[in-house]
Amino acid sequence: MQMNLIEVFCRAVGAFFVLFLLTRIMGRKQISQLTFFNYITGISIGTIAGSLTVDPSLKVSAGIVSLLTWSGLTLLVAFLDLKSRKARQLIDGEPVIVIKQGKVLEQKLQNLRLDMDELLKLLRGKDVFSIAEVEYAIFETNGELSVLLKAGKQPLKQEVIPITKQPQQTPIPVQLIADGKIIDENLKQFNINRSWVEQKLMVSGIKLSEVFYAELQQDGSLYVDKRSDHLFH
């Protein structure tokens, strides 16, 4: 069974507009922000659209149903990812610290199936040519590497604002509350207890139930974003 050029043209136009509509519904991300799941989903949907265009054995109705099914499942997963931190961890994984306080964590590299050559390549992509310059490096869920240089290696800023040191300090900013829920694993990793967090919020006149996101800064201050979208420091 063969298709004439007019039928191929009509199928291609139809597939194009279906894909256009679906991408508008599903939202958009920059390529650098895509997770492995997003990447695989995009390839699958694109393959179905391509087959719908040139495969005469594939009925148009079957192709459209397949596209709608894949897109619907992708939207469902995106909804779960947005609403549940545990689901987000299951779907996308978590950022992994691969260099901590200047030391390479070999076991973390093995778990990620990442060798030193690949790690050095990712560092060079951040204009870092020596591990000796790195204080922290975090392998993100999209395959990017986030790097915090040691104090003496960081670029100078035009304005330096003096700060008053506070008792609770960390080498990097730490998420304490995300999506309104305390992240216990971060508290444990940086030796922070819940009572300290609650006390800091109380001093600012904020209840724990009002907080959408909270982050402990390196100087010991607490950045808080309330559910009402008002910002406090």
* Dist CA 214 CA 138 (whole Å): 20
Q: Structural domain of residue 144, as residue ranges?
A: 96-153
Question: SS3 string of 164-219?
Answer: CCCCCCCCCCEEEEECCEECHHHHHHCCCCHHHHHHHHHHCCCCHHHEEEEEECCC
The CATH code of the domain that includes 139 is 3.30.240.20
State residue 137's pLDDT score.
92
**What contacts 37, CB < 8 A, 6 or more positions away?**
77, 91, 92
State residue 33's pLDDT score.
55
Over 70: is that where the pLDDT of 228 sits?
no
Together in a domain, 86 and 113 = no
Residue 147 pLDDT grade (very low, low, confident, very high; cuts 50, 70, 90): very high
Together in a domain, 17 and 72 = yes
Neighbour tally for 27: CB within 10 Å: 9
Instruction: Report the sign of the C-alpha dihedral through residues 142, 90, 189, 103, in that order.
Output: negative
CB 154 within 8 A of CB 167: no
Over 50: is that where the pLDDT of 185 sits?
yes
Average pLDDT estimate for 34-49: 79
Q: Average pLDDT over the chain, rounded to whole?
A: 78
Helices (H), strands (E): how many in the chain?
8, 9
* Dist CA 36 CA 29 (whole Å): 13
Please report which helix (H) or strand (E) contains residue 97, including its range.
strand 96-100
Together in a domain, 86 and 12 = yes
State residue 27's pLDDT score.
61
Together in a domain, 85 and 134 = no
Please report which helix (H) or strand (E) contains residue 155, including its range.
none
Together in a domain, 45 and 31 = yes
Closest C-alpha to 197, from 230, 232, 221: 221
Together in a domain, 17 and 85 = yes
Closest C-alpha to 27, from 65, 71, 64, 67: 71
Q: Record the pTM.
A: 0.49
Q: Which residue has the higher pLDDT, 232 or 139?
A: 139
Together in a domain, 182 and 219 = yes
State residue 161's pLDDT score.
38
Average pLDDT estimate for 124-145: 87
Together in a domain, 78 and 27 = yes
State residue 167's pLDDT score.
45
Over 60: is that where the pLDDT of 146 sits?
yes
Q: Is the residue at 162 inside a domain?
A: no
Residue 142 pLDDT grade (very low, low, confident, very high; cuts 50, 70, 90): confident
Residue 160 pLDDT grade (very low, low, confident, very high; cuts 50, 70, 90): very low
Domain boundary among 49, 64, 90: 90
Encode pLDDT of 77-89 as tens digits. Answer: 878 877 777 777 7
State residue 164's pLDDT score.
41
Share of the chain above pLDDT 90, in %: 5
Over 70: is that where the pLDDT of 70 sits?
yes
CB 134 within 8 A of CB 148: yes
